[in-house]
Homo-oligomer: A and B are copies of this chain.
Amino acid sequence: MKILNLNQIKSVLNSIDLLSYIEAGFIAYSQKKAVIPPVGELLFDDPPGDVHIKYGYLSHENYYVIKIASGFYDNPKLGLSSSNGLMLLFDKNTGGLLCLLLDEGYLTNIRTAAAGAVVAKHLAPNKVHRIGIFGAGIQGKLQIQFLESIVNCRDIIVWGINQDELTEYLEYMESKGYSVETTQDANSVASSCNLIITATPTKHPILMSDQIQSGTHITAVGSDTPDKQELDAKILEIADVVIADSIDQCLGRGEIFHALNEKAVKKENLIELGDVLAGKKAGRISDDQITVADLTGVAVQDIQISRAIYEVIKDDSKYEFGNRKI
């Protein structure tokens, strides 16, 4: 049995073609080759916290994966990150634990950013002239880093509500070679960018339909619960293409959930990401279309990122826990 801590996981990730794994995962999901039971949940009041257990497997692969992810919102008062978690990869033929990834929640951020890059690769306009980011946190940074190999553009504008966080973001991304502008005005982003990623936990839309230029692609990754919403539902109404990572899941959460409630989209017009990746359905067909992708996070991403790491290290004795398997 292998165990990796966060630093080891980060090191292994550098050698993985993660986007290929994530793409294959979404394709398998849309082809109904993924078995993903309902999420398990524990909720705590005092101190406030929630724990989610996501699990499942690809029917044609040899693994099943269980992810435990938590958010304890008073943790920062104790000097701890609010999010935490780990992933367990098992042998689907024997039930043996193959690999324990003590990722502290990091892989969830990474697989979310990787999904953003997969979406941009297939749905962004041919020439991205400026990238707009809503949310100057870790996900706002990771989304840009994962876009590096997908789009040539190095000009970004970041929206946030906290000037200190925006300044920190600017300095960090400039150190990575980007030209960065910060703003607290959503319109400055919408009017200058044709690739926009929203990565905030807001419960009230921050990007409005009348701000959106033709030819823009928007990926919304912040809303993963029924009460969160980043996009004015009318944006999905004016969009030429609306993509869901999981149509089933988006019926109950995310931007599409709100747009369905407001009758801004019809379920039958939704397109699932895996069907676009497999070439089964069209995504963007011209550079002046408006496209929207709603990424609520699917366990198949957790399955694939765990598997990707395990397949690199499975013969490396450095990661072996003791000399025994369980």
Binding site for B on A (CB under 8 A): 1, 3, 5-6, 35, 37-38, 40-42, 44, 47, 49, 51, 53, 55-57, 64, 66, 68, 70-72, 75, 78, 80, 84-86, 88, 90, 92-97, 100, 102, 104, 321-322, 324, 326
Contact = CB atoms under 8 A, between A and B. Distances in A.
A78 to B, nearest CB: 7
Nearest to A83: B95
A125 B70 CA distance: 47
B93 A5 contact: no
A127 to B, nearest CB: 43
A302 B144 CA distance: 43
A1 B102 contact: yes
B80 A94 contact: yes
B40 A40 contact: yes
Contacts of A49: 92-95
A90 to B, nearest CB: 7
Given A84-B94, A84-B97, 10 more contacts: A5-B324, A42-B57, A42-B64, A51-B90, A53-B53, A66-B68, A68-B90, A70-B90, A70-B95, A78-B94
A78 B85 CA distance: 33
A102 B42 contact: no
Nearest to A324: B5
